Amino acid sequence: MAPRTRFFEECPEDDCLDMLGELEDFASAPTDDVREISDRLKADRERAMRKWNYFFKEVYTTNKADLEEVWFRLCHDDEQAKFNCKVFLQWYVKKSGSREVCLGPAEYEWKREVTSAITLTELWKRLVVEAHSTVLFRKRKEDRVNRRQWALSFAEKGTGPVAEISRWIAGPLSRQLSLTTEQTFVKQQTSPEDIALFLDTLWTRSADIPLTASTRIAFHTFMLVAGIGGFRNGSILNLPYKQVRFALVRDPDCPSSSKIVAHILIVQNKRRKGLRRNQDDKIEFSVTFVPGRTFCLSSFLVARALADNAFDAEYQTYEELLDRPILEPGIDYLPLPFKTGILDRRIIPLGQEKLNDIWNRTLLVAGLRQSMKPYSLRVGAAGRLNGVLEPTLRNYILSQSSSMFHHSYQARNFSGNLAIIAFGGLGGDSGDAKLFKSLSNSSLSRDERAPVNPTAEDLAGFERRRDIQDLRQEMREAVDQGAQNRVSKRIANIIKSLSRLRVQELREAYFQAADQRRGQGLPADNLAETSTAVQSPATRVGQFLRFEETSQLGNTRHSPAVGKLLLDLLQNRLSPLSEEVTVASSEAKTLPAITGFEATAEADQSSSEPEAVEDHMIDGAPAWSNHVETYHGKNNAPNLPRVHQIWHKDGTSGPSQAWCLICSNHFQAGRGFVKHLGKHKDAGVFAQPFQCIGCPEDTWIDGLSEWIDHSARCHGGCSRSGAGPKRACEDGLTNDRDAKKCKVESGQGYGILSASQLADSIIPIDPALWDS
């Protein structure tokens, strides 16, 4: 075997010369002694330096100060250099304003933008760091021997010229120019109840929050992701498909079934650039379908992916995604990849400016007295993670240190009862825990009847303003479409600003009058606006999301109708109701806007819905009720008489019997099974994990909710109560209420039927009949 040669010995001479030339060119490029920063921070620093240059070139011309010389002399603590810096900072505060529209005959007023010493200190910090990275960097290159002299670092405490000017800003300058030295907002947290309210408002009040279907779903998705982990906005907004993975995973609790799981990768922002010897800037978490419709993040992600035709397997419908993939024996995980060409597209197409607009509008429509920042989502999530997770894991998820968490992530409103902590029972009733928890909800003092729009008279008054009339005339005289569009945009912006100011006035007057009347024991209904409910595709989705499919016993099953409805909305296949829904009687409702079908318990003929974009075949009253609830809102669904049916082996049907899979007792449907199962719970059956011997493999059940879910998924039981389907009538069971309950020999005590007995006794049943 020939000896192995080194790679550079095989390199041709010409290639080596070319390579060496490239290396010399690269090595001759200047290197920086400061760390890399984000483009946004770099732009902010450059903007601050441009204002500095403008001041000394165009404004402060009598001083004749050299722009770079000021920074050189500041490095040596020169008094004249510090004086020049102070003059610039004063000028910046006084001139940092603009003429803004206002209500009243003046139409415009001068408003100063910088009112906080914190804002000015941040400007000073950007200036110092930018000077260190540019002007002083060039000086350090020229004077290598004394390079340590040409450096500045920002400081608010300690000694040195920079710290001295920082203290001057916080002290004498703030008093002279009336700058506040505190944060101008109240640090609040967004609780789960707040998130549920805001999302419900987003959909059910869609007429007051006009958005496209894509943007509405993107905002909803953002809220869920931010509420889960408290991630920064920049890590979630415009999240690309390449940071989301779907997979089909075998369910360990029921090996015969599987679940769709979404893996979401969050790349934390506000991290230093450079070599990374760890991966603490990335975190991936997983979600699956959940029964809470509003909080089912997977449904929103799946709907978006299907609407964008993102899956490599070309899944077109929700049913295809759930039914087509299979897990063969021995395979527990199946990736469901996206197409290569879509990985850089956004699965959450939403930017920061649009987020702020939707957030503020949603909180306004929800009736909050004062708005708060989206930052409250991060504060709320941090509070929920704290105490539940170890500090190390909490800090990893939030991408913050413990000191920063203690410093910046504590809401002002403490949700506990300090009196009880201090004095025990003498300090209050421990039964007020729910009361004090509700006090931490930022939406507690809301009133959704407060005005959200200016009146028609207000809008007419805006048109009579001189500036609006002048712009209207200018638009009429414009010769090209581009000029007309620019003027039209200016008019829209002015009216938007005026509307915001007027609504603020109306809301302040409303809350003051409403609080006064209610305090005197008088109703405030006459103060509220009279609004007409407008049906739209978005409100129909909101009505469906509002109805959470849960029961007093718990329910861990997810409704696939959520994703289907969202997909229909994205694909523009959802139509609003054109007429009001009227209640025909206490037993049934009719929907004249959809069909002329009047739902009754005896209806058994197939029908189709003519108003739907695609045909929906309705087979009988239960199917009709389920369809209306899914696509047109629960409030519109007919109230059918409760007639429970079950199909027997001979093909006939009759009243169903609920079978307790724990003790094998039978009950006529709707006649005491829920109460019976509650007795099992009180007796401690679910206090500890137990084994379901009715399953061919070892399956352990931990808790009542898990038992209901297991019996529904693995034994054909009811998804709400866990009741099993009717056994064969071999034991002479009748439908009489007083019929004696039978026991199977292996079902004594708390035992479950064996696998053979279970297979012989359970008769397949249509789950929709049980859920009805």
Question: Quick check: 621 and 638 in contact, CB under 8 A?
Answer: yes
pLDDT attached to residue 27: 61
Q: Residue 305 class from Cβ within 10 Å (0-12 exposed, 13-18 middle, 19+ buried)?
A: buried
pLDDT attached to residue 440: 86
What is the mean pLDDT of the segment spanning 275-299?
Answer: 89
392-441: per-residue pLDDT in tens? 999 999 988 888 888 888 888 887 788 888 888 776 666 788 888 888 89
pLDDT attached to residue 30: 55
| CATH class of this structure's domain 192-398 | mainly alpha
What is the mean pLDDT of the segment spanning 177-195?
Answer: 89
What is the percentage of the chain residues whose pLDDT exceeds 70?
Answer: 71
pLDDT attached to residue 362: 97
List the chain domain ranges. Answer: 39-177, 192-398, 577-641, 645-771
pLDDT attached to residue 58: 87
Taking 90 as the threshold, does the pLDDT of residue 706 lie above it?
no
Question: Quick check: 725 and 762 in contact, CB under 8 A?
Answer: yes
What is the mean pLDDT of the segment spanning 466-487?
Answer: 91
Taking 80 as the threshold, does the pLDDT of residue 734 lie above it?
no
301-323: per-residue pLDDT in tens? 999 999 999 999 999 998 899 88
Q: Is pLDDT larger for residue 533 or for residue 60?
A: 60
Q: Residue 484 class from Cβ within 10 Å (0-12 exposed, 13-18 middle, 19+ buried)?
A: middle
Beta-carbon contacts of 19 under 8 Å, excluding residues fewer than 6 positions away, are 11
For residue 728, name the pLDDT band (cuts at 50, 70, 90): very low
Residue reference for tokens 């350090």:
140
What is the mean pLDDT of the segment spanning 623-639?
Answer: 61
pLDDT attached to residue 763: 32
pLDDT attached to residue 588: 29
**H or E element: which one contains 137?**
helix 135-142
For residue 713, name the pLDDT band (cuts at 50, 70, 90): low
What is the mean pLDDT of the segment spanning 72-82?
Answer: 92
pLDDT attached to residue 249: 94
Angle separating helix axes 561-570 and 297-307, nearest 10 degrees: 40
Which of 195-199, 296-300, 524-528, 710-714 shows the lowest mean pLDDT across its residues? 710-714
- Give the integer Cα–Cα distance in Å for 727 and 765: 11
335-373: per-residue pLDDT in tens? 999 999 999 999 999 999 999 999 999 999 999 999 899
525-563: per-residue pLDDT in tens? 888 766 656 788 999 899 888 865 443 334 445 667 888
pLDDT attached to residue 61: 78
Q: Is pLDDT larger for residue 633 or for residue 274?
A: 274
- CA angle in degrees (0–180, nearest 5) for 611-295-260: 85
Residue reference for tokens 């020999």:
745
pLDDT attached to residue 635: 57
- Give the integer Cα–Cα distance in Å for 137 and 32: 8
What 3 state SS string does 319-347 have?
Answer: HHHHHCCCCCCCCCEEEECECHHHCCCEC
| In 495-590, beta strands by DSSP E | 582-583, 589-590
Residue reference for tokens 């038992």:
707
Taking 60 as the threshold, does the pLDDT of residue 52 lie above it?
yes
pLDDT attached to residue 116: 92
655-700: per-residue pLDDT in tens? 456 677 777 676 665 556 777 777 777 777 777 777 776 665 556 6
pLDDT attached to residue 18: 65
Backbone angles phi, psi at 236, to 5 degrees: -110, -45
pLDDT attached to residue 420: 82
pLDDT attached to residue 614: 42
For residue 501, name the pLDDT band (cuts at 50, 70, 90): very high
pLDDT attached to residue 638: 59
pLDDT attached to residue 271: 74
573-627: per-residue pLDDT in tens? 887 653 333 222 222 233 333 333 233 333 333 333 333 334 455 545 556 666 6
pLDDT attached to residue 39: 80
Taking 80 as the threshold, does the pLDDT of residue 496 lie above it?
yes
pTM (whole model) above 0.85: no
pLDDT attached to residue 47: 93
Most confidently predicted of 11-15, 104-108, 620-624: 104-108
For residue 726, name the pLDDT band (cuts at 50, 70, 90): very low
Long-range residue pairs from 255-259, CB within 8 A, at least 24 positions apart, any chain: 255/697, 256/714, 257/713, 257/714, 258/327, 259/288, 259/289
pLDDT attached to residue 190: 93
Supply 108's token pair: 């415009």
What is the mean pLDDT of the segment spanning 629-638?
Answer: 60
Q: Which DSSP string do the residues of 627-675 spell out, in sequence order?
A: HHHHHH-GGGS-------EEE-TTS-EEE-EEE-TTT--EEETTSSHHH
- Give the integer Cα–Cα distance in Å for 111 and 99: 6
What is the mean pLDDT of the segment spanning 714-741?
Answer: 48
- Give the integer Cα–Cα distance in Å for 655 and 667: 11
Residue 751, SS3? Answer: coil
For residue 29, name the pLDDT band (cuts at 50, 70, 90): low
759-769: per-residue pLDDT in tens? 333 333 333 33
Average pLDDT, whole number, for the chain?
78
pLDDT attached to residue 256: 87
What is the mean pLDDT of the segment spanning 382-390?
Answer: 91
pLDDT attached to residue 435: 86
pLDDT attached to residue 17: 59
Taking 60 as the threshold, does the pLDDT of residue 9 lie above it?
no
For residue 653, name the pLDDT band (cuts at 50, 70, 90): very low
pLDDT attached to residue 735: 35
pLDDT attached to residue 85: 93
